Amino acid sequence: MLFNSLTFLLHFSIFFLAYYFSSFRIRKTLLLLFGIYFYSQWGIGGTFLLLLSITFNYAIGIQIDKRSLLNRKSIFVFGIVSNVLYLGIFKYFLFLWGVLSDINFANGGASFIWKPNIILPIGISFYTFHNISYLIEVYDKRIPVCRNFFNFVLYDLFFPLLLLGPIERPGNLIPQIESERTVTKEKIWNGLSLFCFGVLIKSSIADPLSRYVELHVGSFLSLEPGILWVIAPSIAFQVYADFFGYSLCAMGLAEMLGFELMNNFKRPFFASNPSEFWSKWHISLSTWLRDYVYIKLGGNRVGFFRENLNLMLVWFLTGIWHGAGYGFIIWGVYLGLCLVFYRVLKHFGITNHDSKLITGLGILFTFYTFSLGLLLFRITSPSESFLIFENLKYFPSWNQIPFSLLIVIFPLLLFDVWQEWKQTDRPTFFVNTNPYLFSLIFFLSFLWFSLVSPFAKEDFFYFQF
């Protein structure tokens, strides 16, 4: 039941009408029931596992809060390790099984024919990180433990962010669940605007780009020389439009229900260096890793060498978090090296040049660094990375550049340019106070949607993570 499907719109409309005209207590019950129903559309087994994870982490949080200093640390470590193992079994066991098979084959043995039948529950990475952050915050006494089981279940089953995030902090979301919220016409209007624009860029930008990419990148062996210089930016805009679109939908739905979620993207393609880029892209994950891994390892308080070593470890973990495969690990190491390289240049004062030309070149370099890195998501063995380098030795010809895709990308570029000019922290709409202008833009957006978006729907890109 995708956000951009008629099925979801129908079910959510019925739910929202009941929610809007209900009392606070009934609203919470409706939220819980709709969250269970929404997630169960991807399988009852996954729903059972999610509820099991919720119950476990609620109990661990209670035990951390009530135990003495020594015992609470043991309970905390047990809770964190259990969550990591839970994620590891479902997400990484098959990959490790395949690595062992490859090692056995390389040593003269046979590849493993049998492998366990483990199905990855959708959204497991997001809600597991959700729960780990809760346990850390309770252990560090940054937030009080949530003693109301009903409220804690809603913390994990809040359907707008259940599948793909953002990885909302417990200190922001739980108080909103516990307190009574007012649903105003302004919130409904703004939330609907965000949701509509999220669906627009997902269906009419991300999906066509996805079809173009899949059509041209079947195998790295059969690619035209130099075509990856064109494919890489297409993948970058596809992933951005897809995940940014989902985030806008989640923020919009939450705002219609009276909640406020964190902004997950802040115009990342305007970043002029890798460090700035990761402060604007998938912000909920990058800040999660910064606060709960990088700073816990010592952050920038342990000397320049250790600081960068910690950074490499964080990006190695980022690669693993995104998926179980050789490409994800190489991708994490590659981006870590890019960040370390920039920090070394900055450390020696080489980047201290303030001019529009340098900034523009920095934006182009940062964009292509990220774009080319996304190609690593698609490799199935380390040797395929050499095929990427081989292709990039050449430059594309003019007839290889799909200028029609620039037309598809145009609305997203226009929106980001407007937001950059306004320097807003949240993707709000300047037409909120002008219904006539909003109606005109909505009509033009609908016309655009009808022209470039076929009826076929693509899954959200991050569902695979």
The least confident of 10-14, 48-52, 425-429 is 425-429
Q: Are residues 157 and 225 in the same domain?
A: no
**Binning pLDDT at 50, 70 and 90, where does residue 105 land?**
low
In whole angstroms, what is the distance from residue 122 CA to residue 411 CA? 30
Tell me whether residue 39 is in a domain. yes
What is the chain's alpha carbon radius of gyration, rounded to the nearest angstrom?
A: 23
- Asked if pLDDT for residue 401 goes beyond 90, the answer is no
Residue 362 parent element (H or E): helix 356-374
Q: In the predicted model, what is the mean pLDDT of residues 134-143? A: 93
> How many domains does the structure of the chain reveal?
2
Q: For residue 330, tell me if it sits in a domain.
A: no
**Whether 322 is catalytic:** yes
Residue in 207, 243, 236 with CA at minimum distance from that of residue 375: 236
Same domain? 148 vs 35: yes
| 293: in domain | no
358 inside domain: yes
Is residue 455 scored above 60 in pLDDT?
Answer: no
pLDDT of residue 427 exceeding 60, the answer is yes
Domain closes at, from 155, 180, 205 = 180
In this structure, are 152 and 204 located in the same domain? no
Share of the chain above pLDDT 70, in %: 85
Q: How confident is the model at residue 452 (pLDDT cuts 50, 70, 90)?
A: low
Least confident span in 176-185, 205-214, 377-386: 377-386
Q: Would you state the pLDDT for residue 41?
A: 87
Give the active site residue among 11, 216, 322, 353. Answer: 322
Last residue of a domain, one of 121, 152, 180: 180
Length of the chain: 465
117 and 82, same structural domain?
A: yes
Contact 143, 137 (CB under 8 A): yes
Lowest-pLDDT range of 234-238, 280-284, 403-407: 403-407
Which phi-psi region, left, alpha or beta, contains residue 349 (left: φ > 0; alpha: ψ -120 to 50)?
left
pLDDT per position as a tens digit, 381-393: 777 777 888 878 8
The torsion angles phi and psi of 305, rounded to 5 degrees, stand at -65, -50
Lowest mean pLDDT among 102-111, 132-141, 405-414: 102-111
Average pLDDT, the chain: 83
Task: For residues 259 and 134, state if they share a domain.
Answer: no
pLDDT digits (tens, 9 = 90+) for 345-377: 887 777 776 778 888 888 999 999 999 988 888
Which parts of 41-141 fold into alpha helices (H)? 44-66, 69-106, 124-139
- Residue 326 maps to a domain: no
Residue 227: per-residue pLDDT: 83
Query: Does 180 score more than 90 pLDDT?
Result: no
In this predicted structure, the answer to whether residue 7 has a pLDDT above a threshold of 60 is yes
Choose between 304 and 69: higher pLDDT. 304
Peptide bond into 170 cis (omega under 30): no
Predicted confidence at residue 437, as pLDDT, reads: 65
158 and 196 part of one domain: no
**Predicted pLDDT at 19:** 94
292 token code pair:
């709960």
Residues 241 and 373 in one domain: yes
Residues 142 and 215 in one domain: no
CA distance linking residue 420 with residue 363, whole number of Å: 14
Domain assignment of residue 304, yes or no: no
Calculate the alpha carbon distances from 20 to 11, 156, 176, 187 in Å.
Answer: 14, 22, 16, 12
Is residue 183 within 8 A of residue 56, CB to CB? The reply is: no
Residues 6+ apart with CB under 8 A from 185: none
Per-residue pLDDT at 417? 84
Sequence-distant (≥ 6) Cβ neighbours of residue 317 within 8 angstroms: 289, 293, 332
The stretch 389-406 carries a mean pLDDT of: 78
Domain boundary among 154, 180, 206: 180
446, part of any domain: yes
C-alpha span between 263 and 417 (Å, rounded)? 17
205: containing domain: 186-273+351-464
Question: Does 359 lie in the same domain as 221?
Answer: yes
Identify whether residues 33 and 93 lie together within a single domain. Answer: yes
> Do the domain assignments include residue 76?
yes
As a whole-number percent, the residues of the chain with pLDDT over 90 amount to 30
Distance CA 291, CA 441 (A): 40
Residues 204 and 139 placed together within one structural domain of the fold: no
Residues 117 and 253 in one domain: no
Q: What is the pLDDT of residues 231-268, one digit of tens each?
A: 889 899 999 998 998 899 999 999 999 999 988 899 99
